[in-house]
């Protein structure tokens, strides 16, 4: 991503509705997967493509957290959050098979990362080898190619996924999915309508970020609407939405 997107993310992700609600949904999934810990022990969690570290920081109290990212600026922001187990990825080279942390992980997170990668299969295959026996992978990606928008452009996305295409990608990398669902379901009609309106009436907006400050009340309302999906996701998988979420294990 462009450096200014990291600046904007660091400024916005603790309050902006999409970041806040997405983080709540994903952290529910993480905490449900973490094994019960004995006294003095913690799970080991790696976030591949950790960005500015907001999610990792939220998990640091219940797990030993590790982060990898290609952006020096993103890793600098992670350090500002007090994160120390960090490693820079060389985006111009294939991911080395050797684990730079010399540790295996109970859980690996790829949260809105796969869509950036030229060869997502190769990265997934290497990360699979870094999991502990019984470990899990949590993946979230933007949904539906038809929703391509300015956010995809400025974030340098290569693709968007459906539930089926993500499952196929994970299977090719040696994983089987144990859960798959869409999320950002309740706001999905609004999202799709806004993208369609931009295509028809504001085509220049399809090259601009959607991440803009909102009035406090609107931001709070959107946060509440999207966050309310957490209750439904405890019992059912959602049939559509702006993002896909998969939990997978090595086959």
- The number of distinct structural domains making up the chain is 1
Q: For 165-205, give the DSSP string.
A: HHHHHHHHTTEEEEEEEEE--TTHHHHHHHHHHHHHH-GGG
In the prediction, which pLDDT does 155 show?
82
The first and second tokens of residue 160, run together, are: 């968007």
pLDDT score for 170: 98
DSSP 39: T
At 108 the pLDDT is 98
Task: State the CB neighbour count (10 A cutoff) for residue 22.
Answer: 23
pLDDT in the model for residue 9: 82
pLDDT at residue 212, rounded to an integer: 77
Give pLDDT tens digits along the chain (251 positions).
666 778 878 888 899 999 999 999 999 999 899 876 545 578 999 999 999 999 999 999 889 999 999 999 999 999 999 999 999 999 888 899 999 998 899 999 999 999 999 999 999 999 999 999 999 999 999 999 999 988 888 888 999 999 999 999 999 999 999 999 999 999 999 999 988 887 888 877 777 777 778 899 999 999 999 999 999 999 999 999 999 999 999 99
What CATH number is given to the structural domain containing 223? Answer: 3.40.50.150
How many beta carbons lie within 10 A of that of residue 93, not counting itself? 7
Question: Residue 157 and residue 50: Cα distance in Å, rounded?
Answer: 16
Q: What is the pLDDT at residue 66?
A: 98
* Domain of residue 14, residue span: 3-250
d(CA 184, CA 72): 30
Write down the pLDDT at residue 6. 83
Q: CB neighbours (10 Å) of residue 46?
A: 28
């Amino acid at each position: 991503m462009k450096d200014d997107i990291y600046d904007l993310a660091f400024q916005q992700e603790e309050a902006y509705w999409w970041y806040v609600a997405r983080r709540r949904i994903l952290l529910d999934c993480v905490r449900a997967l973490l094994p019960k810990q004995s006294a003095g022990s913690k799970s080991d969690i790696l976030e591949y493509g950790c960005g500015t570290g907001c999610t990792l920081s939220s998990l640091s109290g219940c797990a030993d957290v590790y982060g990898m990212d290609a952006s020096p600026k993103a890793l600098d922001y992670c350090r500002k959050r007090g994160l120390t187990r960090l490693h820079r990825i060389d985006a111009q080279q294939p991911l080395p098979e050797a684990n730079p942390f010399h540790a295996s992980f109970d859980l690996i997170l790829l949260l809105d990362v796969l869509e950036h990668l030229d060869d997502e299969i190769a990265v997934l295959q290497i990360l699979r080898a870094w999991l502990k026996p019984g470990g899990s992978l949590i993946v979230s990606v933007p949904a539906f190619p038809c929703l391509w928008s300015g956010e995809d452009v400025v974030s340098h996305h290569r693709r968007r996924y459906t539930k089926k295409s993500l499952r196929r990608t994970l299977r090719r990398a040696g994983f089987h999915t144990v859960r798959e669902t869409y999320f950002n379901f309740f706001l999905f009609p609004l999202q799709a309508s806004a993208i369609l309106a931009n295509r028809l009436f504001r085509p220049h907006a399809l090259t601009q970020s959607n991440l803009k400050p909102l009035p406090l009340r609107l931001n709070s309302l959107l946060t509440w609407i999207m966050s309310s999906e957490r209750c439904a996701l405890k019992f059912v998988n959602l049939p559509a939405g702006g993002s896909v979420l998969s939990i997978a294990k090595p086959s």
